[in-house]
Structure 1
Amino acid sequence: MQVSVENVGKLERKLTVKFPAERFESQVTARIAEMGRTIRLKGFRPGKVPTTVIQQRFGAQVRGEVLSDLIGSTLREAVEQENLRPIANPSIDTTGQPENGEIAYTATFEIMPEFPEIDVAGLEITRPTAEVTDADIEKMIETLRQQRRSFEAVERASADGDFVMFEYAAQAGDYRFPAEGLERAGSVLGSGTLFKALDEALTGRKADESFNAEIAFPADFHNENLAGKTAQVEFKVIKVQEAHLPTVDAEFAKLFGVVDGDLATFQKEVRANLERELKATLMARLKGEVAEKLANAHPELDVPNLMVQSEARGLAAGSVPRGQQPPPQLVEAAVPMARKRVIAGLLMGEIARKQSLTLERKRLAEQLAAIASTYEEPEKVVELYNSDPQLMSGLQNRVMEDQVAEWVAEHAKTTTQTLSFDEVMRPVGA
C-alpha cells in the first residue's frame, strides 16, 4: 500500500492511497465463492449455483461492496500510519478501476489542529455556589399555587391580580386596529402580559363599562403600526374575575404526584426538584465560564471550518421557526460566536485527552437519573437512552465536559462566588 499526503489548507488534507489490484480481485473471488456455498437461487440446488451465474447476477454488487470495505480498511491504516486525526468522514474520490496493477483513491478531510500548551494555572475562574433555602421552597410552592389558581367573576372594580377580559379599538392617525369592530383580549392585571399603560387604563373598571383613553404604545409593541405611537383607544370591559389560590393541603399535594397527599413528602420533592435545577445551572455556569476563559486565552487557534459552519448553523437555527432553514446571512453572522465555541470545545477535549480523564460512570448514571426524573415514566427514558447510541453519546459528552470544567476550576485561579438561588437561576445579563 502506497500513501501520500498533500496539505490543501491549514487543516485540510488530501490523502492519496494506492493498493494492489490483486488484493481487490482476490477478495472479490473469495466473496463470490462464499456466496456460491450459501446462496439459494430458483432452479439450482443449494451450494451448486455456478460461479458464472453468481458473477452475472451479483458481480457488480460484490465488487462495489469489496471496494468500499477495502477503502475503509486501507484508509484507517493510512490515517494511523501518517498520524492524522480526521474530524469527520472524508470525501472519497476514485474510479475503482485498476491502473498499472493498482487501485487508487483520494480522501479529503479536515484534521484536528496542533494544540498549544494549555496552561490553565493562570486562568481566573469565578465559580458560583448556592443552596436551596426554606424560603426558596416556600416561594416555589407559592408559584405552584399561582399556576393552579382559579378565577371567579366579581361586580367590583378591577384591581391588581384580577383577570380582565375586554374589547378595544386603537386609532393612531389614519390607522385603526382592528379595521372594523373591536378586538377582544384578556390579561391578569400586574402580570406583565400587558404593558403598564394598558394595565393602568383597565384598573378600577367594572364589567360592562365602556370608556376611551389615550394610550402610549411601547416601541417594541407587536403591531408595528402602533409601536412607539400614542393612540386613542376605545375600551369595553367584558368581565372582571378575582383570583382564588388553592390551599396547600393534601389535595394540592396530590396534584403534583404525591399519592398520599403528605405535605412533608411534597415539600421534600419540591426541594429535590429545586436542588436538581440548581445543581445543573451551577454546572452550566461553571462550564460556560471555563469555556469562555479557555477560548479567550487561545483566540488564534486554527479550527476546522466544517465544525465552525455546523455550529454556526445550529446557532442560527435558534433564531428561526422550528423546521425552517436559517438564511445564509444569519449563519454568517453566527460564525464568530461559533468559532469561539468550537475553540472552547476542542480545548476542553484536548485537556481531557492530555490529562487522561475518563468518563465517571457514577456521574453518568446520576445525570441520566436526573433527566429521567423529570418525566412521568422515568424508567422508559433510561431505557431510551440505553438503546439509542446517539442520545447516550451526547449525554456522555456533556458529562465529560462537566468533568473537564471541574478539573480546570481545581487547577486555575478560582474564586468562589456565593449567590442566592434566585441569582443563580436568573438568566445571565438579566
Structure 2
Amino acid sequence: MQVSVEELGSLERRLRVEIPEDRIAGEVENRLKNLSRTTRIDGFRPGKVPLKLVQKRYGQQVRAEVIGETMRQTFYEAVTEKQLNPAGQPKIEPQETEQGFTYTATFEVYPEVKPVAPDQLKVEQPVCEVNETDVDQMIETLRQQQKQLEAVERAAAEGDTVKVDFTGRVDGEVFEGGQGTDFDVEIGANRLIPGFEEGLVGAQAGDTRNLSLKFPDDYGKAELAGKPVEFEITVKQVQEARLPELNDEFFQAFGVTEGGMEAFRAEVRRNMEREAEQTVRNRTKESVMDALYQANSVELPAALVEAEQDRLLEQTKNNMRQYGIGDEQLEAMGMDKSNYLEQAQKRVALQLLVREMVSEQGIKAETSEMRELIEKNASGYESPEEVVNWYFADQQRLGEVEALVIEDKLIDWLLSQAQVSETPYTFDALMNKGQTE
C-alpha cells in the first residue's frame, strides 16, 4: 500500500492510497471459495457448485464488498501512518486501475489549538445569599400557586380572575387567535397586551366591554405588531383568589410532615439555597466559557461546524415535537440550519479548547467524584439511592457524568487562575425577575 498526502488548505487534506491488485484479488478469491461451499444453486449439490459459476454470479458483488472494507481499513491505516487526525467524514473517490485499486480521501484535520494563558481571562462570578425576606416572598409565591378561585358577586378588581368571551378585530376582520370562550384573565398579571386586563377593572358578570387597543411594536406575530385592535368582551364571571392557610395541611403538600412553620421555612430555605448554588455555578460556567471563547481564536473545521448545526436543528425540532408540533408543521416552518451557524461555531471552538486544556492539565474524573456529583443531584428526589443506582447501572449515563466532572474541574482550575470579579445578586434577580413575586 502506497500513501501520499496533499495539503489543499490550512486544514484540508487529500489522501491518496494505492492498493495492489493482488491484495484485492486474493481476498475476493478466498470469499468466493467459501461461498462455493455454502451457496445453493439449482442443479448442483451443496458444496459442489463450480467456482467459475459462483464467480460469474457473485463476483462483482463480492469484489465491491472487499473494496469497501479495504477502503475503510486502509484509510485508518493511512491516517495513522501519516499522523493525521480527521475531523468529520472523508469524501472518498475510488478508481480501479490495471495495477490495482486507488482512491483519494478528502477531509479536514483538527486544528492545532493553543489556548491563551488563563490569567488573561476576565470572569464575572455572581454571588447570592438567601435571606429571610427571600424566604417570605417564596412562601407567598407557593401560596399563590395553590390558590383557589371562588365566584363573587361584585365588580372586578386587581388580582381577580375574570372569565370572558371575546372577539378581536384588526381592520374590521377577526384575526387568527382573536376569539375565545370561557377565557380566564387575571387582572394585574400582565400576560395580555397593554390595556386588556386594565379594561376589565370594575366589570361585573353580564357586562360587555369594548376596548380599543394596540398591539405592541415587538409583538410575536409580525402581521399584528403595532396594529390597532378592537375587542368586544362579554364578562361571564368574576372570581376572587382564596389563598391557603399556612398550616400543617399546607406544609404536608411540600413534604414537611412535622415541625410546623419553623421546619417548613427551613425546607424552603434549603431548596432556595440549592437552586441558587446551582444557578451561580451555571452562570459562572457560562462566564468562564464566554471569556475563553472571546480570548481565543480557533480555526474551525467546516465539517464539525456543519455537524453541530445539524445537531442543534434536530434538537430544536425534537423539543418542538414534545409540545405536539408534528413533522408537517415543522416542514412548513422552513427551519434552516444556517440560523445556528454562530452558535455552532462557538460550541465547536469551545469543545476544541476544552479538549486541549483537559489534555494539557491531565484532568480526569475519579469514581468518588462522579458518585459525589450524582448523590448531590439525587438529594432532591424522593428516593436518592434509586437515582444513584440508575446512573451506575448504565455506562453511557455514567460517561455523561464523567464529562460533567471533568468540565467542572476544568472550570475550577480556570477560576483559580483567571481575573475574577464578584457581583452580588438578590435571589429574585439571580433566578430571573419574578421567581418570588
Q: TM-score interval w.r.t. the shorter chain?
A: 0.7 to 0.9
Q: 2:114 aligns with which of 110, 113, 116?
A: 116
What's the counterpart of residue 196 of structure 2? Answer: 198
How far apart are 1:349 and its partner, in Å?
A: 1.7
Q: CA deviation at 1:295?
A: 2.0
Q: State the distance in 1 between where 2:128 and 2:236 align.
A: 46
Distance 1:195 1:66 in 2: 67
230 and 34 in structure 1: CA distance in 2 versus 1, 3 angstrom threshold: closer
Query: What are the equivalent positions in structure 2 for 1:324-339 lying under 5 Å apart?
Result: 324=330, 331-332=337-338, 334-339=340-345
Question: What is the number of residues matched between the two proteins?
Answer: 419
- SS state at 1:409 partner: helix
Taking a change above 3 Å as real, the CA distance of residues 267 and 65 of structure 1, as seen in their structure-2 partners, is farther
- Residue 23 (structure 2) pairs with residue 17 (structure 1): no
Q: Which ranges of structure 2 fall in alignment gaps of 5 or more residues?
A: 322-326
| Counterpart in the other structure of 1:293 | 291
1:280: how far off? 3.5
Matching residue's letter, 2:94: T
User: Match of 1:219, SS?
Assistant: coil
**1:215 shift after superposition:** 3.3
* SS of aligned partner of 1:197: coil
Match of residue 423, structure 1, among 418, 421, 429? 429
Task: Report the Cα distance in structure 2 between the residues aligned to 1:367 and 1:306, rounded to whole angstroms.
Answer: 34
Task: Give yes or no for contact 1:129–1:418 (8 Å, CA) kept in 2.
Answer: yes
Cα separation, partners in 2 of 1:252 and 1:62, compared to 1, 3 Å: farther
Give the Cα–Cα distance (whole angstroms) in 1 for the partners of residues 36 and 388 of structure 2.
Answer: 46
Q: Deviations over 1:168-202 (max 9, x none)?
A: 34566x524379x9743321111122234122211
1:32–1:51 CA contact under 8 A, matched in 2: no
Per-residue deviation, 1:118: 2.8
In the aligned structure 2, how far is the partner of 1:175 from the partner of 1:382?
A: 62
Among 355, 369, 373, the residue aligned to 1:349: 355
Q: Does 347-356 or 25-34 show the bigger shift?
A: 25-34
**Corresponding residue number in structure 2 for 1:148:** 146
Instruction: Give the drift of 1:65.
Output: 4.7
Contact 2:115–2:353 (8 Å) recurs in 1: no
Partners of 2:168 and 2:334 in 1: CA distance? 38
Q: Quick one: distance in 1 between partners of 2:58 and 2:130?
A: 68
The 2-side partners of 1:9 and 1:326 are apart by 39
Residue 253 of structure 1 and its aligned partner are, at CA, apart by 4.6
Q: Which ranges in structure 1 are unaligned for 5 or more consecutive residues?
A: none
Give the root-mean-square deviation of aligned CA atoms.
4.3
CA shift, 1:250, in A, is 4.3
Cα displacement (A) at 1:293: 1.7
Secondary structure at the residue paired with 1:403? helix
- Structure 1 partner of 2:299: 302
2:308 is matched with which residue: 307, 311, 321? Answer: 311
The Cα shift of 1:154 comes to 0.5
| Paired residue secondary structure (1:70) | helix
| TM norm structure 2 | 0.77
- Change in Cα spacing, 1:313 to 1:25, as seen in structure 2 (3 Å) is closer
Within 1, Cα distance between the matches of 2:60 and 2:374? 47
Residue equivalent to 1:210: 208
Alpha carbons 2:115, 2:357 under 8 Å: kept: no
Code of the residue aligned with 2:408 in structure 1: it is D
Identity of aligned residues (%): 33
DSSP 3-state at the match of 2:196: helix
Residue in structure 1 matched with residue 237 of structure 2 by the alignment: 239
* Contact preservation (8 Å) 2:39, 2:47: no
Match of 1:77 in 2: 77
**Contact kept? 2:3, 2:15, Cα under 8 Å:** yes
**Cα separation, partners in 2 of 1:5 and 1:224, compared to 1, 3 Å:** closer
Of 407-416 and 213-222, deviating more is 213-222
CA contact (8 A) 2:39 2:49 kept: no
Which has the larger displacement, 80-89 or 229-238?
229-238
1:407 offset after TM fit, Å? 1.9
- Letter matched to residue 162 of structure 2: V
Which shifted more, 239-248 or 57-66?
A: 57-66
